[in-house]
Amino acid sequence: MSWIHKGEIERVRQSEMATEKLPSRLEAAPDVSSNTSQKLYLHVDMDAFFASVEERDNPSLKGRPIAVGGSVDGLKGIVTAANYPARKFGLKAGMTAIEAKRRCPQIIFVHLDARKYTYASAQIMDLLESFSPDLRILSVDEASLEISGIIRRYGSPAAVGQAVKDAIISRCNLPSTVGIATNRLTAKVAADTSKPNGLRYLIPGSEAAYLAPLPVSKMCGIGPATEASLAKFGIKTLGELANASEDMFRLKFGVVGPALIQMARGQYAGRMAHDDARGTDEKSMGHERTFGAPILDRAELRGWVVALSEMIARRVRTAAMVGRVLTMKLRYNDFETLHHQSVIPEPTDDEEMLILQGWKLLDQCWQQGRPVRLLGLSLGSLIPKVESIHQMNLFIGNQVFRREALYKALDSLKDKFGEKIILRAMGHSQRVRRDLISFGKSPK
């Protein structure tokens, strides 16, 4: 028997049919357990996580449009999350409660409970780690696992995916969607296009065919600006992008051009691939900037601290890490170079904390009046964020969680519309042009 979806065919042995309950969205699942050289990645994305936790704890909310966050009367506050019935009315994270109430008069506002979501997330991540030690926590409700080594135990990649979903239901009673593919990025797209409560496995070699009919906006990393640029070349689908000339795209887009094409073919995982290459033992993340003209103005240097802190915090949040040691690197015009460090009380990915600590370091490090040629910041002593969850002060948990919800909404905006869609005013003046700051570590 086979399941067919958009040209993809999966043959599943009759013996598996008798033992597995396979969802309707299930794609291609041949037995690849004997292929030890082929890596497979499983992406887990919890469905409307905060709202689902509230529905679980109050079954009377099921099937009714609810929004987590905002005041009960809907007159103030911001929506942090909305369930699927509410999303039909256009409700989404980051929307004001007043706008949510206008779009959906029957919306039910539920108070945000940080401790509850934190506990559920910790349970889920702990459970996922029991499946595979190669767990990458991407956010409070998303994670990626390398599952090649456990396929034989379960019989097929599809069975692994179903086992993960069943385990989350059994332990936490929460719905999830799973995507499985040969790289982390394609697995994420498979999950994103299978929500809610779906399971999709793309057999090795079928990725390009599955991605082909999807609009380019479905690929993580392609925002409206890039989408508009691609449209000028008549490219609207990932299939059209996959068939583009790498040489032409290199000329038009630089090194990013061929990478976009490889991502559309399901051959490259973008930033996630760099995370794999870097490994799990990276101890710091940072950015630095060499100035074309040395800077003598304190306000301008403080603005650069803001810009660098925003970039570091976003990068650390993307990696689901937190850090405690902030290091400033400052080089004067005569090439004298100083390094100063500050130990933050609690591990953090909060850019406001980094900005305040960075300003203190600047005051300690910089001799006023001396021209600065280079300024850099890095956050060290990194640990996975899930480990710091257990150390959270419950008395400030809600406050921390509200700020994290805000950063998640801002990160989502930047993922969709580019880094410059929203910036702090002090940092914006230093980042009028994107090429002013080198992303990643500069060569020494």
118-170 residue pLDDT tens: 788 888 988 888 888 778 878 788 999 989 888 988 999 999 999 999 999 99
pLDDT in tens, 394-418: 444 455 556 666 666 666 655 555 4
Candidate list 142, 146, 240, 300, residue with the active-site label:
142
pLDDT at residue number 32: 42
pLDDT surpasses 50 at 295: yes
Q: Of 211, 186, 168, 423, which is closest to residue 306 (Cα–Cα)?
A: 423
Query: Which letter, b or e, does each residue of 16-53 get, where b requires 16 or more Cβ atoms within 10 Å of its Cβ?
Result: beeebebbebbbbbbbbbeeeeebbbbbbbbbbbbbbb
| Domain 1-205, architecture per CATH | 2-Layer Sandwich (3.30)
Residue type, 342: S
252 to 115, 178, 257, 260: CA distances (angstroms):
48, 35, 7, 12
Question: Rounded CA gap, 402 and 48, in Å?
Answer: 17
Provide the pLDDT for residue 173: 95
C-alpha to C-alpha distance for 227 and 358, rounded to whole angstroms: 36
DSSP letter at 336? -
Q: Give burial (CB, 10 Å; 0-12/13-18/19+) of 219.
A: buried
Is 142 annotated in the active site? Answer: yes
Please enumerate in sequence order all residues whose Cβ is within 8 A of that of 236, keeping only pairs 6 or more positions apart, or say none. 215, 216, 230
Signed CA dihedral, 13, 15, 19, 21: sign only: positive
Q: Which CATH topology does 212-270 take?
A: DNA polymerase; domain 1 (1.10.150)
pLDDT of 320 strictly over 70: yes
Is the predicted pLDDT of residue 99 greater than 70, yes or no?
yes
The domain defined by 280-436 carries CATH number 3.30.1490.100: yes
Could you say which DSSP state residue 77 is in?
S
pLDDT tier for residue 346 given thresholds of 50, 70 and 90: confident
Peptide bond into 196 cis (omega under 30): yes
- 3-class DSSP state for residue 382? coil
Residue 69: name the closest of 103, 106, 108, 105 by CA. Answer: 108
Sign of CA dihedral 13, 18, 21, 25: positive
**Domain ranges in the chain?**
1-205, 212-270, 280-436
Is 280-436 the same fold as 212-270? Answer: no
Choose among 339, 326, 341: nearest CA to 378: 326
Q: pLDDT at position 288, please?
A: 82
